[in-house]
Structure 1
């Protein structure tokens, strides 16, 4: 083989090597993009759930709220998300010929509930606010009606009882509303704060930060379960106090209770 032929053969071999290398890089790019899309799609799904929950809570559709929160916990699943994060970081390191990140981390690290600063609320918090609202209502009543010239004590007591009952009902509704708002605050925290931060950390190649944010998101997602129970309990108290205050849902539940209590034909 002449020198020219050898040079051509060598050039063809180098070209083939470059082509194969380019194909490898393209495959890496495709896989990185696919894994990144999986992570970003979860963020979009969380935002969609936020909108659904907003409507469901406004309509007192507690069953739909429970289902939406269950879906949220399914999305924020460390066993699904962490492999995508690690795949993006590992493949990016291989493509860019940079040091491979340390991927060692026990899943138990994601089981702690004291990670991060997600919204928290207890029944005690709600009850304190409830009692404070009643106290403020009593104070306002005294300021408005305390010096009023009543026909007799019975008229005064009757008016005060009516106004107290109205204030109590409003406080009960507000207590349930606060529980519903707490659910929304948790969802906001995960979808609007944590997930964009997670995506940013992965794009920056910062695994430590990505893992910390994912752990916070998992802890906040777990918190939606007791948050729902809190919402359900206080919504039930609102229904017991005034079924029609729950709108169409209250009417439907009241009709169902009436049907259950009606005599059955033998």
Structure 2
């Protein structure tokens, strides 16, 4: 027996939005939504990305979940909004096709890791850390001292490994060689128009253009099919308060500096 909701789902264009930095909360929501799209057997997914990127592991898990969905036959088209950079690109290249606005900011392919050297400040105010550690490098990136040359070498090797994973994913997803990707994957950003010339996106257009392409790939009527939202973020009372946008941006910037300090990030970070 085929349940009515299953027949309807097979004619449904799903939509999932990834907005803001990619971290644990975003990964949990998006992966859950992708699983629901798979269970509903939706023939196509419109993936809207407006993100500067974020943490490496969370970006990789979303990328892998999109791959599993495509393996089940779902056609996935990514739509780049204002910005889809670094980890946003990593997630986007898991899609079958990518559509970007001509002025979308994309690229920033690479890895960044920053720590905070507060040794001079701590010295001025008379604070000194006492550290007991099990190994020579256990307190690497400690804020009370500068990196040693050996520590810097170890961290560079970590960054190079993560960068190689990023390049490989872009090369595979966009059907490019590693050499071609490394030619432009030096952290620079591009407009959507420039990304098209590099082969990083397939076409220029708005979200509706991406919607129509997804419908065409799945054999749906673009004039009659409207996307059904999956995994929509919940909005509470703070989202209704005046000045919330500026406050959220300030809070987000502070979070990036403190919570993600010392982590390799696939993040566009001007």
Normalized against structure 1, the TM-score is what? 0.26
* Structure with greater proportional helix content: 1
TM-score, length basis structure 2? 0.25
Higher strand fraction: Structure 1 or Structure 2?
2
